[in-house]
């Protein structure tokens, strides 16, 4: 249900309106697509302070500068990139027809068609970015969109709904707010595509609903992104880069380093270096406006419980900065959980908060074997100057994306696809790949007048000649 001119419109009617408008208007020109994207850019520019204030309130503490960087500037990048490149992406793509028709005047091309109406479901950890970044590709491809932001960041969702309804035709982009029940209702509708960012559990639920209507899905999920610190890595520099990543959004990022694999002899040095580096970024946690709070009590308790469980099973926990956990503030220091036992829940569950694991290894092949046996992660990080080892890690592992000698760098590229693999997701967006993801690649074959199949004895009634001609085609 959404409000259009103060009238409540059920989600199914909203989809019906967008579909009728899409059919009536025909394919959107490049200029129309650019205008639609520009409207989104303009409303972000106009309302950026209001959005930052809403995210601060939603998190119970999220620095305005951080929200502007992550969600406003972070969304403007893909939107502007799509605006400035979509005309090139839209062009028909010529292909060579097969013989003998290529010699008889046939031609062929791939036409990139809009799918229609795309449903976008976002998460709380990046409440604008996770809906507006896919929207860039959705609009570039000439589609219309229904956006359902996360209910956990409800104030941001309300601002988004209001400003979009004020500034964009709901037949082009509409925002529906609500919780899991609304998400369930929407994902049961026959949209032309669904893109969802969320946990693997959400991905499964959405895919099951979409399957009933055979709606294609793009699933941007999460998981435990590992860091492999090679023996050639500079430990101090590596530790600072890991600390910077863990200090970002309170660790509540899908590509946040989760488990750091370090050579056994470097375990203590790395733990100490990460703790020191984190302390220089955040000398305190509770009451520190630079620290992003856990988004709500449920997520706070979830992460605290993972750390507690590991400690109860004998793992050492180093807290940086070394302070007691506040009972009134959801801002948390980084908890570095050292070598937790295999049965600790933190070894299998995505942390998605202010904690991380450091695990010792003897050989890189041991780590590669462990990673290969587990779920495919969204991101993988390698630190080291050993090119041979780096290439071996790249060749013998898989993940949605990789950053070498830093953390969380690759998702920011507008020129390269971002997405998961296996349980960390399917499909991807960003730049041209996003355009392709939300387009139907339709092959068009322009046949020549001449068709030699009758003259060549290839049409029924079949004779001996036909079989012999086919046998002659069976070559290696
Ligand atoms: P969430 O609770 O905000 O849920 C995400 C969306 O799914 C919401 O809009 C919600 O309403 C909807 N939803 C929830 N249950 C549903 C159901 N049963 N059926 C249909 N829709 C449903 O977010 P979350 O799931 O806690 O998100 C955190 C996860 O998202 C983490 O695993 C994180 O790694 C991942 N994530 C991935 C990316 C990425 O780009 N790959 C980005 C951010 C977060």
CA 360 to chain centre: 30
Which residues does residue 194 pair with via DSSP β-bridges, in sequence order? Answer: 119, 217
pLDDT tens sequence across 269-294:
999 999 999 999 999 999 999 999 99
422 Cβ contact list (under 8 Å, min separation 6): 375, 376, 398
Task: Summarize the confidence of residues 10-34 as an average pLDDT.
Answer: 95
C-alpha separations of 338 from 118, 152, 344 in Å: 44, 31, 12
**254 carries an active-site annotation:** yes
CB atoms within 10 A of CB 395: 9
Q: Mutate which of 130, 148, 202 to test ligand 1's pocket (most atoms within 8 Å of Cβ)? A: 202
**pLDDT range class, residue 250, cuts 50, 70, 90:** very high
**How far apart, in whole angstroms, are the C-alpha atoms of residue 337 and residue 359?**
9
Tell me what the pLDDT averaged over the chain comes to.
97
> Percent of the chain, pLDDT > 90?
97
Q: Mutate which of 71, 75, 78, 123 to test ligand 1's pocket (most atoms within 8 Å of Cβ)? A: 123
Task: Summarize the confidence of residues 336-357 as an average pLDDT.
Answer: 98
Distance, CA 179 to ligand 1 centroid (Å)? 11
Give the per-residue pLDDT at 218. Answer: 98
Which residues does residue 4 pair with via DSSP β-bridges, in sequence order? Answer: 7
Start-to-end CA span in the chain (Å)? 59
Task: Summarize the confidence of residues 28-42 as an average pLDDT.
Answer: 98
Give the per-residue pLDDT at 124. Answer: 98
> Percent of the chain, pLDDT > 70?
99
**How far apart, in whole angstroms, are the C-alpha atoms of residue 142 and residue 439?**
8
CA 361 to chain centre: 30
**pLDDT range class, residue 9, cuts 50, 70, 90:** confident
pLDDT tens sequence across 199-240:
999 999 999 999 999 999 999 999 999 999 999 999 999 999
Residue 273 CA neighbour count, 13 Å, CB half? 18
Q: Which residue blocks in 91-173 are alpha helix, DSSP H? A: 129-140, 154-167
Task: Summarize the confidence of residues 49-70 as an average pLDDT.
Answer: 98
**pLDDT range class, residue 8, cuts 50, 70, 90:** confident
The single residue of 32, 49, 166, 220 carrying the catalytic annotation is 220
**How far apart, in whole angstroms, are the C-alpha atoms of residue 98 and residue 106?**
9
pLDDT tens sequence across 418-454:
999 999 999 999 999 999 999 999 999 999 999 999 9
Give the per-residue pLDDT at 381. Answer: 98
DSSP state, 69? I
Q: Which residues line ligand 1 (CB under 6 A)?
A: 121-126, 130, 148, 150-152, 179-180, 183-184, 187, 196-199, 202, 205-206, 220-222, 254, 350, 352, 378, 420, 425
Consecutive H or E run containing 226: strand 225-229
CB atoms within 10 A of CB 432: 20
Q: Which residue blocks in 107-146 are alpha helix, DSSP H? A: 129-140
User: Angle at CA 262, nearest 5°, toward 260 and 263?
Assistant: 165
The residue whose CA has the least distance to atom 1 of ligand 1 is 123
The single residue of 50, 166, 167, 254 carrying the catalytic annotation is 254
Distance, CA 459 to ligand 1 centroid (Å)? 55
pLDDT over 90 (residue 347): yes
**pLDDT range class, residue 12, cuts 50, 70, 90:** confident
CB atoms within 10 A of CB 163: 19
Give the per-residue pLDDT at 5. Answer: 61
**pLDDT range class, residue 2, cuts 50, 70, 90:** confident
C-alpha dihedral sign at 398, 402, 408, 411: negative
**How far apart, in whole angstroms, are the C-alpha atoms of residue 197 and residue 237?**
32
DSSP-derived 3-state class of residue 117: strand
Q: pTM here? A: 0.96
Give the per-residue pLDDT at 10. Answer: 81
Give the per-residue pLDDT at 1. Answer: 65
**How far apart, in whole angstroms, are the C-alpha atoms of residue 132 and residue 44?**
10
Which residues does residue 118 pair with via DSSP β-bridges, in sequence order? Answer: 145, 193
Tokens of 363: 């050989």
**pLDDT range class, residue 51, cuts 50, 70, 90:** very high
DSSP state, 105? T
């Amino acid at each position: 249900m959404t409000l259009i001119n103060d009238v409540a419109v059920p989600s199914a009617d909203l989809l019906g309106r967008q579909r009728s408008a899409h059919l009536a208007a025909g394919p959107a020109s490049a200029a129309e697509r650019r205008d639609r994207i520009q409207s989104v850019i303009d409303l972000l520019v106009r309302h950026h302070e209001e959005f930052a204030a809403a995210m601060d309130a939603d998190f119970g503490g999220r620095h305005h500068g951080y929200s502007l960087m992550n969600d406003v500037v972070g969304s403007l990048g893909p939107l502007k990139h799509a605006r400035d490149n979509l005309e090139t992406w839209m062009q028909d793509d010529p292909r060579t027809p097969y013989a003998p028709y290529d010699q008889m005047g046939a031609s062929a091309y791939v036409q990139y068609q809009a799918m229609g109406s795309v449903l976008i479901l976002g998460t709380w950890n990046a409440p604008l970015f996770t809906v507006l970044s896919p929207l860039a590709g959705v609009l570039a491809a000439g589609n219309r969109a229904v956006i359902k932001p996360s209910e956990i960041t409800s104030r941001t969702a309300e601002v988004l709904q209001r400003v979009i309804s004020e500034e964009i035709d709901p037949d082009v982009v509409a925002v529906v707010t609500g919780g899991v029940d609304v998400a369930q209702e929407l994902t049961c509708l026959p949209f032309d595509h669904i893109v969802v960012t969320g946990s693997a559990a959400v991905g499964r639920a959405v895919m099951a609903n979409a399957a009933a209507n055979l709606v294609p899905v793009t699933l941007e999920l999460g998981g435990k992104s590992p860091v492999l610190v090679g023996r050639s890595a500079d430990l101090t520099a590596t530790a600072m880069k890991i600390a910077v990543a863990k200090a970002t959004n309170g660790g509540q990022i899908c590509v946040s380093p989760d488990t750091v694999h370090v050579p056994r002899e470097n375990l203590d040095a790395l733990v100490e270096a990460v703790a020191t580096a984190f302390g220089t970024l955040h000398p305190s946690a509770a009451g520190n406006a630079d620290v992003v709070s856990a988004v709500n009590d449920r997520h706070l308790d979830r992460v605290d419980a993972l750390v507690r469980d590991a400690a109860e099973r004998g793992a050492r926990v180093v807290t940086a900065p070394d302070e007691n956990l506040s009972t009134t503030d959801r801002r948390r220091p980084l908890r570095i959980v050292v070598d937790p036992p295999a049965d600790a829940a933190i070894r299998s569950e995505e942390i998605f908060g202010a904690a991380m694991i450091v695990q010792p290894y003897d050989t890189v092949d041991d780590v590669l074997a462990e990673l290969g046996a587990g779920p495919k992660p969204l991101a993988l990080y390698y630190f080291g100057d050993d090119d041979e080892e780096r290439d071996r890690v790249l060749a013998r592992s898989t993940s949605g994306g990789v950053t070498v000698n830093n953390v969380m760098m690759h998702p920011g590229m507008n020129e390269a696809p971002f997405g998961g693999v296996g349980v960390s997701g399917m499909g991807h967006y960003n730049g041209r790949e996003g355009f392709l993801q939300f387009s139907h690649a339709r092959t068009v074959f322009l046949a020549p007048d001449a068709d030699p199949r009758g003259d060549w004895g290839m049409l029924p009634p079949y004779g001996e000649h036909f079989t012999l001609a086919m046998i002659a085609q069976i070559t290696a």
